[in-house]
Amino acid sequence: MNVEALLLSIRLALCVSAILFVVGVPLAYWLAYSRWRWKFLLEAAVALPLVLPPTVLGFYMLLAMGPRGPLGKLWHAAFGHGLAFTFAGLVIASVLYSFPFAVQPLIASFETVNRKLLDASAVLGAGRMRTFRRVILPLSVPGIITALVLSFAHTLGEFGVVLMVGGNLAGVTRTVSIDIYDRVQSFDYASANRTALLLLVISFLVLSAVYGINRRAGRPEWLPWPAK
């Protein structure tokens, strides 16, 4: 079993969940409450990674991050080195890939907050920030946990995007799923099995935790798969 690969995957998943939380909460708030007529276009864009093959997303990310891609150029100007085949590049691609897994449970839980509570908050003098902090956020805790856990688990198990933009550099971009693939390619089934089983168990535990939390919160039906 490749501990280095497993630790790398966990590090990647933690980074991605943290970034998705910071970016996803304001975006989900906007998507849940905005009345902008073209909002559906953004909703569709957020859901794209659910239907696109990871290779398609990875391919475009690779182009964007390449030395002549917009993202790659920007990164080079800022940090003096390229973005493709680096850990940072992997994080960016994974954030995009796991986007719907964070944003959709957030939207679903923001939307289930009773509008009358928001009206009551406004009438009691609270502005949007106070209403969000004191009413919407605390009532959305199960949704937030779902979002965090799902983006973590989904990143942990990703393969196609990593292969496209990360390649297979030990300690840098060789995640656990790539490692399993490598071992199968070299007919080391026993080792592949140990890692695969561990990943299976972790994934199952994580999802059980999410369903358990949602059951306790009294709304078991809003895991984002299928979306809403």
Partner 1 sequence: MAREMSSASLSVCVRKELRSGAAASFVLHVSLEAPAGITILFGPSGAGKSTLLDGIAGLMRPDAGRIAIGKLVLLDTDRGVNLPPQQRHVAYVFQTLALFPHMTVGENVAYGLLDSKAQRNGQRVAEILEMFRVEKLRKRKPGEISGGEKQRVALARSLVTLPRVLLLDEPLTGLDAELKASIVDDLRAWNAAHKIPILYVTHSREEVDALGERVIALDHGRMVSEGTPREVLDAPRQKRLAQTAGFENLLSATVMDLREADGVMRVRLADSEREIEVPLGYAVPGDAVRVAIRAGDILLATEQPRGMSARNLLGGKIISLERRGTLVVVRVDCGVIFTAHVTLGAERTLELAAGKKVWLVIKTYSCHFVDQ
Residues that bind partner 1 (CB under 8 A): 114, 116-117, 119-127, 130, 134-135, 138-139
Q: Please state the closest distance from residue 144 (CB atom) to partner 1, in A.
A: 13
**Based on CB atoms, which residue is closest to partner 1, 122 or 200?**
122
The tokens describing 211, both together, are 């369903």
Task: Report CA-CA distances (Å) from 215 to 104, 143, 169, 222, 223.
Answer: 18, 12, 41, 10, 11
Provide the minimum distance between the beta carbon of 86 and partner 1 in the complex, in angstroms, as a whole number: 43
Amino acid at the residue 226: P
CB of 116 to partner 1, least distance (A): 4
Phi, psi of 181 (to 5 degrees): -60, -45
Closest to partner 1 by CB, 106 vs 163, is 106
Minimum gap (Å) between residue 204 Cβ and partner 1: 30
Q: Which residue has the tokens 């609270």?
A: 126
Which is closer to partner 1, CB of 113 or CB of 210?
113
- In angstroms, the Cα distances linking 83 to 62, 98, 105, 169, 187 are 9, 19, 30, 14, 32
Task: Confirm if 90 and 166 have CB atoms less than 8 A apart.
Answer: yes
Q: Of 17 and 140, which has the nearer Cβ to partner 1?
A: 140
